[in-house]
Structures are given as structure tokens and as C-alpha cells.
Amino acid sequence: MDEDKRPPINVELSPEHSDGVYSNFVLIAHSPSEFILDFARMLPGLQKAKVFSRIIMTPQNAFLLKEALEENLKKYEERFGKIKIFGKEEKEIGFK
């Protein structure tokens, strides 16, 4: 079926999940048949992270997630500017 002719997908978001879960750390493991993503939260000064959500996906769905994230990160940067990662900024050389 052509992508433009697919019926829209109805997504249900229950009230108990509508607030979402904040995560600033993810652990990723995989086997030949699945990817496991543990979304966790780390607090400054602590060496322990607590997992709040575990997502298990097929390798195909993990690949599609990667593609969707890349597309959306590109759109985000086009709208809001380059995302800066602390400690990975490009160093300027020379005079201003």
C-alpha cells in the first residue's frame, strides 16, 4: 500500500501516561532478536541511576526509531539551531 494512502493511525494516550517520564540516561542492550532500552534518571552527585521505563523492540523497529530520531533532530536544529553537547563543542582557533 502506498504511504500516502495508508489510513491514519489512532493513538490512545491514557491519563496515567500523559505526563510522561523524564529520562536523562539510557542503557541499551541487544541480542540477535531484540533491543532493550532502559530509560533512567541520574541525579547530580550520585553514582546510581533508577530505571523508570524499559522498552523492548525488534532490531527492525530499533532501526526505524533511529531513522525517526535522526529526521526529527534535523527538523529541530533547522527550527531552533544546533544542539550543543557539553564537552563536545567545537573549539574555535584563532582571533575573533
This prediction has a pTM of: 0.77
Residue-level pLDDT, tens digit, the chain, 96 residues: 556 688 999 999 999 999 999 999 999 999 999 999 999 999 999 999 999 999 999 999 999 999 999 999 999 999 999 999 888 766 666 665
* Measured distance CA(42)–CA(68) in Å, rounded: 25
- What is each CA distance from 64 to 15, 57, 60, 70, in whole angstroms? 27, 10, 6, 10
Domain boundaries, the chain: 22-80
